[in-house]
Amino acid sequence: MLKEMGEEAIINTLLKTLVDDLPDNPLNKDDDAIAYRSGSNWLILKLDGSNALSSKYPWMSWESLGYRIALGAITDVIAKGGKPIITLASVGIPADHEVHDLTKLLEGVGKLSARVGAMYVGGDVNKSLMDVWLDVFALGIAKNPIPDNPLKIGDKLYVSRCMGLSSIPYIALLKGLDMSPWTDILRKVAEPEPAMDFLDISRTVKASTDISDGLRSVLRILRKNSVGLLVNEFPLCYEVEEFMREERIDILDVIRYLGEEYSILFASSDEQKYNVLGTIVQGEGITFRKAKIMAGGWDNFKGFIT
């Protein structure tokens, strides 16, 4: 069954159904997005989606859900060096929903598109029998797409923003915590800033990936390179550190439940101003505080891998 296979095994199976690599394509089939040459430029294409049952917290608006799902596709385009220019959306919604839910969901796609300078130009609407779902297609343009060049021992891995905000609402649900004192965190989780500034340094990047699946995204790139990662300290957001102190939350819970970070993990040929996640070392997995972290993050079919 699919839930026993897990997302990564399913994707590896589905990759066999795709056409052979596109001509001159610098990206792999299993990369964050696809690159297609158009004259002197490259088109960066990505389709991503989710459903309300999996992705909409009780406190989250339909507009924020649309924004976040669109951000998943757009972050993948940015992670490969593409400047987003066009988005399309396909939505499924049960017939007993109000039209307000539908319009707000798609207004979220438009809001995020406008924020990154892309045009939301249309899509498709369908009747869903049970849950609301949304798929967003994003198209970007790049001079030089970022391939996954091999990582070397001693390379530093950076993240495009501080980490941990995505964990807080899930931990709060698990522990039944009152989130009313933490409205700043909820606001930032609802509609994160897109990582557009990453494009300013993309020419110096030797490998990159979106880490919307938390540690699973990090572990995937480590396994691909047959290396490990030594983390001295996770670059947590200051709001996360304050939340941990006040609510007595352990850092291992925070990193275990990382999910929709909408951040970019990358290795660069130059020293960067961004937060360092860790250093590439021999071995496997992530070493943090002298202990190996071999699991963690989100799987669409299994849930959090803990």
Q: Kind of pairing, strands 41-51 and 34-38? A: antiparallel
- What's residue 21's pLDDT? 65
Mean pLDDT in the chain?
91
Domains in the chain with CATH codes:
11-142 (3.30.1330.10), 156-304 (3.90.650.10)
Residue 133 pLDDT grade (very low, low, confident, very high; cuts 50, 70, 90)? very high
DSSP string of 205-252, one letter each residue: EEEEEE-TTTHHHHHHHHHHHT-EEEESS--B-HHHHHHHHHHT--HH
pLDDT tens, 205-221? Answer: 999 999 988 888 899 89
- What's residue 98's pLDDT? 96
pTM: 0.92
pLDDT tens, 58-69? Answer: 999 999 999 999
- What's residue 6's pLDDT? 67
